[in-house]
């Protein structure tokens, strides 16, 4: 005799026994307007260009062609930039406490000044973290060039396919987790200069 199944009978409700200790406090990004003044931005640009720029590469130098088109130079506090390192340290500490709450050490790699020049200066989609390097937790990007002096070069952060374009105002500091997918769109006119760094800390766990 075939079994009669009551399709109207509801399955017993299973209660969710999970209990979260704490809600996630990590934001996608944070920003600080006027981290540097116009004069300070120009001072940093001059210091960097006086040192001389070299071709920027990726973690895998052999595959950087077509992904990154930029020139860079490394800057340190001894480059008459003590004041800039102190300013960025104070801002990052403030934003981290409010928006990320990561356990941080400091900026062990210095500043990387980056120059994107038309036509085509860019950095395709990538993340700043990788194996066998210091544990990068937060990425810092500071707009040094007046946006009226160039076209293109937008910084996009991706939490979905569309992405979010960041503020291009001169002196603006953008801070985001280093595992975030991001890119700098091609510069179509003029040049875009930026200052980037990575804030390191203990391994995530």
**CA distance linking residue 186 with residue 48, whole number of Å:** 21
Whether 64 shows a pLDDT value over 60: the answer reads no
Q: Express as a percent the part of the chain with pLDDT over 70.
A: 90
Domain 30-201 sits in CATH at 2.60.120.620
pLDDT in tens, 122-170: 999 999 999 989 999 999 999 999 999 999 999 999 999 999 999 999 9
pLDDT for 4: 54
| pLDDT average, residue stretch 179-196 | 98
User: Residue 195: is it exposed, middle or buried by C-beta count within 10 angstroms (0-12/13-18/19+)?
Assistant: buried
pLDDT for 2 equals 52
Residue 15: DSSP 8-state:
P
What pLDDT score was predicted for residue 205? 85
Query: Rounded distance, CA 140 to CA 12, Å?
Result: 51
CA 74, 77, 81: angle at the middle one, nearest 5? 95
* DSSP 8-state symbol, 35: S
**What's residue 26's pLDDT?**
92
For residues 148 and 163, give the distance between their C-alpha atoms in angstroms, rounded to a whole number. 23
* Distance in Å from the first CA to the final CA of the chain: 57
| The predicted structure's pLDDT at residue 80 | 97
Would you call 29 exposed, middle or buried from its count of C-beta atoms within 10 A (0-12, 13-18, 19+)? buried
Global pTM value: 0.87
Average of per-residue pLDDT across 100-113: 95
**pLDDT confidence bin for 8, thresholds 50/70/90:** low
Q: Do the beta carbons of residue 134 and residue 201 sit within 8 Å?
A: no
Contact by Cβ (8 Å): 90, 16: no
Q: Are 111 and 196 in contact (CB under 8 A)?
A: yes
- CA separation for the pair 158, 168 (Å, rounded): 17
């Amino acid at each position: 005799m075939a079994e009669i199944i009551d399709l109207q009978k509801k399955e017993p409700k299973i209660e969710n026994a999970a209990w979260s200790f704490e809600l996630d406090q990590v934001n996608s990004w944070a920003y600080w307007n006027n981290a540097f003044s116009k004069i300070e931005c120009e001072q940093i640009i001059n210091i960097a260009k006086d040192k001389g720029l070299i071709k920027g590469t990726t973690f895998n130098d052999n595959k950087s062609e077509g992904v990154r088109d930029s020139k860079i130079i490394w800057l340190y506090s001894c480059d008459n930039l003590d004041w800039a390192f102190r300013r960025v340290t104070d801002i990052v500490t403030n934003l981290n406490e409010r928006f990320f709450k990561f356990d941080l050490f400091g900026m062990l790699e210095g500043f990387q000044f980056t120059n994107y020049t038309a036509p085509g200066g860019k950095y395709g989609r990538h993340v700043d973290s990788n194996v066998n390097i210091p544990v990068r937790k937060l990425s810092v990007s500071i707009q040094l060039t007046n946006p009226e002096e160039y076209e293109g070069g937008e910084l996009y952060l991706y939490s979905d396919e569309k992405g979010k374009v960041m503020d291009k105002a001169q002196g603006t500091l953008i801070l985001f987790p280093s595992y975030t997918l991001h890119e700098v769109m091609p510069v179509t006119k003029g040049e875009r200069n930026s200052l980037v760094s990575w804030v390191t800390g203990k391994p995530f766990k």
